[in-house]
Amino acid sequence: MTKVDLIPGAWSGRDDGSGPAHLRWHSAMSAFHADIEPGATVLVGFRSDEGVRRNKGRPGAARGPTALRHALASMALATPIRVFDAGDVAVAVGHLEDGQRRLGDVVAGLLDAGHFVAVLGGGHEVAYGSYLGLSNSAAGTSGARLGVLNLDAHFDLRDDPAPSSGTPFLQMADAETERGRLLNYAVLGIAQPSNTAALFARAVSLGVPYLLDDDCGAANLPAVESFVDEFLRTADLVHLTIDLDVLPASVAPGVSAPAAFGVPLEVVQRVCDIVARSGKLALLDVAELNPKLDFDNRTARTAARLIHRVVTWRAPVG
């Protein structure tokens, strides 16, 4: 990848002084360039509404990457981190497949350079582009067991004529079949009223383990932790994908399909902590932030907190 400029105005915020005692994301952030030593965290934006539009949702997620940067900018850092911004992959109307391919190329290059990648969506079609990057990277083609953990109210296993925000995990399953493998995919937070019987049947046919949102309350945290631990035992490299509509609408109103029930933030955060500390997390993406529908930047701030936790708590892979 070539050197990029920082997104104008995105990385600015409160400044209490110089030095590590006053460190915030905006002061730690630099523009990505190819000479960076391995081991850094690199952010990539995916400015896409096309998948949501095709899925008959409410557009606006293309503005999500910018809103996430603004929400992250003033967050305080307890310790210094090496973090870089690689800019955005922008998806034109009608060109989702090309955008996913381009995102995959960027992610694969960053992973091959030894970096941890956090992709800022965009609709949940971002997940397939992220998957292309991990599966086509050197680590993904080395025989390592890939695992995709989705925090989501929806299976996103729709069998539609054209790819959309509702199809990424069926696309992954088809791609894995072509490689002679089964997709290792698990979902936490499924809302029964938001998924048809056909989608549940497809999940069963693909061997997808899942937890309903009913079973993900704070009182059920031991069962949730056990579910995540069991998934982690099946994978060497993990792709964690967070659709913000997994959270209650009171916490995450700024999404295309706000949750009537949802998984409590403390449970979602705990899942992120477990995965981040596992030493297996190679890739994170966050999807469905729609700033046009947000209230007081509530959803953006919540998403930024989760990204902050994952990046600052993540154990090195391997």
Q: Are 39 and 318 in contact (CB under 8 A)?
A: no
Place of tokens 């956090």: 118
Residue 88 assigned to a binding site = no
- How many alpha carbons lie under 13 Å from residue 116 in its C-beta half-sphere? 26
Q: Which amino acid is at 250?
A: S
Q: Are 105 and 134 in contact (CB under 8 A)?
A: no
Nearest to 146 by CA among 32, 283, 23: 283
Residue 243 assigned to a binding site = yes
Residue 154 assigned to a binding site = yes
Place of tokens 């704070």: 218
Q: Which residues are annotated as a binding site?
A: 124, 152, 154, 156, 243, 245
Q: Which residues are annotated as a binding site for Mn(2+)?
A: 124, 152, 154, 156, 243, 245
